[in-house]
């Protein structure tokens, strides 16, 4: 009996290895690939969406924009062509949620510093006071890397329309005065086709971890 098992020992080992390989292959084939949702306006809290796009159920993308960054450079979607990016809304004199949001954006900047696929974009909601020199000073104080992160100002109406019609991230349409925008704490993940792939609470450390995980998932989607 011992001689019998010794004779087929090698065969048994080979069969065991093949079984592991086959089981792993089947598991890989059956396991669904992780994919992020593509958010449409009708999937988002109507309070954050302009009435003109609340009904939209497909093909929603971030509209073209033309804004000015902390260096006085004109920033359009060309800067974000074929890039994944995280967008938010803030203002430099904010003393409530904005400092926490900025700290978390800085954390993301650190993570993506050497990643050419991912960029950041922060829109001021108070363009009248957040001029180019103000944004430049803020960027320098915070350690913002110009090549990775644009702080942008520009026409107020244009910024507010982007917030409500494109990024779906504002509770006000900006018609009530110079300081009327009730922006949210949301960070918005945008893919290379200008589609929204996620919303994250920019004040929540756990949400930032989720955002970083989703960036990895989104990058893998483009690597297929």
State residue 23's pLDDT score.
Answer: 55
Burial class (CB in 10 A: 0-12, 13-18, 19+), 146: middle
State residue 34's pLDDT score.
Answer: 86
The CATH architecture of the domain made up of 41-223 is 3-Layer(aba) Sandwich (3.40)
State residue 11's pLDDT score.
Answer: 53
State residue 198's pLDDT score.
Answer: 98
State residue 171's pLDDT score.
Answer: 76
Could you tell me the pTM of the whole model? 0.83
Q: Among positive and negative, which fits the CA dihedral 169, 173, 176, 179? A: positive
User: Residue 79's CB: how many other CB atoms inside 10 A?
Assistant: 17
At 67-121, the pLDDT tens digits run 999 999 999 999 999 999 999 999 999 989 999 999 999 999 999 999 999 999 9
State residue 5's pLDDT score.
Answer: 47
d(CA 145, CA 148): 5
Ranges of the chain whose pLDDT falls below 50: 4-5, 20, 24-25, 27-31
Q: Which residues lie closer than 8 Å to 111 by C-beta, 6 or more apart?
A: 212
Residue 98 is assigned to a ligand binding site: yes
User: CB–CB of 119/149 below 8 Å?
Assistant: yes
Q: Strand pairing of 118-124 and 84-90?
A: parallel
d(CA 180, CA 80): 28
Rg (CA), the chain: 24
Burial class (CB in 10 A: 0-12, 13-18, 19+), 77: middle
d(CA 201, CA 196): 15
State residue 4's pLDDT score.
Answer: 47
State residue 170's pLDDT score.
Answer: 82
């Amino acid at each position: 009996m011992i001689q019998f098992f010794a004779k087929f020992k090698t065969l048994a080992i080979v069969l065991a290895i093949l079984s592991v390989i086959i089981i792993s292959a089947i598991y890989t084939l059956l396991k669904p690939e992780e994919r992020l949702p593509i958010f449409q306006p009708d999937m988002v809290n109507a309070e954050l969406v302009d009435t003109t796009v609340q009904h939209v159920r497909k093909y929603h993308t971030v509209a073209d924009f033309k804004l000015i960054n902390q260096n006085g450079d004109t920033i359009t979607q060309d800067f974000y062509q074929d890039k994944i990016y995280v967008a938010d809304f803030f203002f430099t004199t904010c003393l409530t949620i904005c400092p926490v949001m900025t700290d978390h954006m800085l954390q993301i900047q650190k993570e993506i510093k050497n990643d050419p696929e991912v960029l950041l974009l922060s829109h001021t909601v108070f363009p009248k006071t957040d001029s180019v020199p103000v944004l430049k000073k803020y960027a320098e104080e915070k350690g913002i890397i110009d090549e990775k992160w644009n702080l942008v100002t520009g026409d107020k109406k244009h910024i507010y329309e982007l917030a409500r019609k494109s990024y779906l991230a504002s509770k006000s349409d900006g018609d009530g005065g110079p300081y009327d925008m009730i922006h949210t704490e949301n960070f918005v993940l945008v893919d290379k086709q200008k589609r929204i792939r996620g919303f994250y609470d920019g004040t929540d450390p756990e949400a930032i971890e989720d955002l970083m995980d989703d960036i990895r998932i989104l990058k893998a989607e483009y690597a297929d």
